[in-house]
Amino acid sequence: MSDQSGASGNLDPSPVSSSSYTKSVSDFIGIGLLLFLLVLPKLSVLFGAIENYIFPAPYGRFQNLLSSNFLHVLILIFLYSAMSQAWNIIGGYCGQISFGHSVFFGIGAYGAGMSVVKYGMVPWPGVVAGAFAASLIALMISYPCFKLRGHYFAIATFAVVEIFNRMFMVWDWINGALGLDYPIIEEGWKQFIWYDSKVEYYYGALALMTLIFFIVRFLETHRFGYYLRAVREGAEIAESLGVDSTRVKLSAMALSAGITALCGSFFVQYNLRVDPPMVMSLDMSLNFVLITVLGGIGTLWGPFLGALVLIPLQEYTRAWWSGDGLDLIIFGFMIVIVVLKQPQGIQGIVSNMFKTKKRE
């Protein structure tokens, strides 16, 4: 038997070692970025003022820069990097490559959706119920699946997505294949719905992403995070040192699934419509994996960098070439190149740049 000891998350056998110096630099950049993103929508007022009072008409480009389309792209970047970061906990840090995360995403989306559409309530009870349901279902699915190794595990997660997708399509309680369409209701933070402004969604997505990045940053330097990486590098060795690998994997999966469900809830509140293929499909599942791998699997910044490159690429190529598949051809090509040439992803490129700078 060839040695298939687990689907190791790291594409490169030698992971980047991050010293405490690079850690504090990365924290510094992170907080700076967060502050910048917090004031970014306010800048449009500033730009507007500059445009109106200082430079008149010919320079009127600034306001376009912060148009609602630009905000939309930013919201998607935040949402996708939050989702991928949730996946990164189990896929990157713990090394269990799951292609089943769209199931949890879908459950979260349906939680909020059912709460608003079927019961006419605010989404929040559905959000909480969805997150708990996703964690519970993750535990139930993963327990048998973690017995499997390598490709057998990956294919089992594919199978789970297909089963859930088809069951949701014929489940009358949640409207089956028709999906849930949001009615027009009152706007506001209580309902978490806005119809002609994106700024609130922007802050919502930013808050979600910040929360998840803080959780992962916390894990990186705490006991549980070390357990996760120990299990990734070798479950048998970790067990010999007293780490209960099954328990670690299960808790990581439950955490990851719950957070993924939160992202799903945000997605449905932003999209105002959900049907099974939209949230529970292999394509959706692969988004989680690809963004993380492209950005840098098992690193704190990987999911953000991946989303920062992929989402604008997708959105703007679709806008310029009218979505006839050209954007996805480029996307596929980039994946091939990154996997072959730069297994540490964009994160690897960035940290290499830092290293050469330090030497100078």
Partner 1 sequence: MNTFLQVTIDGILNGMIYALVASGLSLTWGVMDVINFAHGEFLMAAMYLTYWLAFYGGVDPLVAWVAAGLFGFMLGWLVFRLVVVHCLDKTPMAALLATFGLSMMLKNGCLYLFSPNYRVLSGTWLEGKKIIAGSLVIPLPQLVTSIFALLMVSALYLLLRKTRLGWAIQATSMDREAAELMGIDTRWILTLVFALSGACVGVAGGLMPMYLAVHPEVGSLFSLIAFLIVAMGGFGSMIGAFFAALLIGLVESYAGFYAAPVLKYVAVFSLYLVVVQWRPKGLFGW
* Interface contacts to partner 1, rule CB under 8 A: 1-2, 4, 7-13, 97, 144, 147-152, 154-156, 158-160, 162-163, 166-167, 169-170, 282, 286, 289-290, 293, 324-326, 328-329, 331-336, 339-340, 343
66 in helix, strand or coil?
A: coil
Which of 164, 211, 182 lies closest to 120, judged by CA? 182
213 membership: H or E segment, kind and range: helix 199-220
Find the shortest distance in angstroms from Cβ 155 to partner 1.
Answer: 5
CB 305, CB 350: distance < 8 Å: yes
Which one, 153 or 304, has the nearer CB to partner 1? 153
Name the DSSP class of 184. Answer: P
- Smallest distance from the beta carbon of 327 to partner 1, in angstroms? 8
3-state secondary structure of 337: helix
Which C-beta is closer to partner 1: that of 121 or that of 159?
A: 159
Dihedral pair phi/psi, residue 229, rounded to 5°: -70, -35
Instruction: Say if residues 89 and 224 touch (Cβ distance below 8 Å).
Output: no
Return the number of the residue (146 or 227) whose C-beta is nearest partner 1.
Answer: 146
For partner 1, give the closer residue by CB, 13 or 56: 13
Give 269 or 292: the residue with its C-beta nearer to partner 1: 292
* Residue with Cβ nearer partner 1 (186 or 324): 324
**Minimum CB separation from partner 1 for residue 160, in Å?**
8
CB nearer partner 1, residue 58 or residue 144: 144
Least spacing, CB of residue 139 vs partner 1, in Å: 16
Give min distance, CB of 268 to partner 1, in A.
23
Least distance in Å: CB of 96 to partner 1?
11
DSSP assignment string, 67-112: SHHHHHHHHHHHHHHHHHHHHHIIIIIS----S-HHHHHHHHHHHH
Q: Which amino acid is at 348?
A: G
What DSSP character marks residue 273? Answer: E
Closer residue to partner 1, CB minimum distance, 149 or 222: 149
Could you give the CA distance from residue 73 to residue 70 in angstroms, rounded to a whole number? 5
CB of 260 to partner 1, least distance (A): 20
Query: Do the beta carbons of residue 283 and residue 328 sit within 8 Å?
Result: no
State which residue, 51 or 162, has the beta carbon closest to partner 1. Answer: 162
- Hey, is 274 helix, strand or coil? strand
Phi, psi of 6 (to 5 degrees): 80, 150
Q: 208 vs 228, which CB is nearer to partner 1?
A: 228
Among 92, 322, 129, smallest CA distance to 229 is for 92
Least spacing, CB of residue 131 vs partner 1, in Å: 25
How far is C-alpha 301 from the chain's CA centre?
12
Query: In angstroms, what CA-CA distances link 305 with 14, 33, 88, 217?
Result: 21, 13, 13, 15
What b/e readout covers 111-135, taking b as 16+ CB neighbours within 10 angstroms?
A: bbbbbbbeeeebbeebbbbbbbbbb
Least gap, CB of 290 to partner 1 (angstroms): 8
Least Å distance, CB 271 to partner 1, is 23
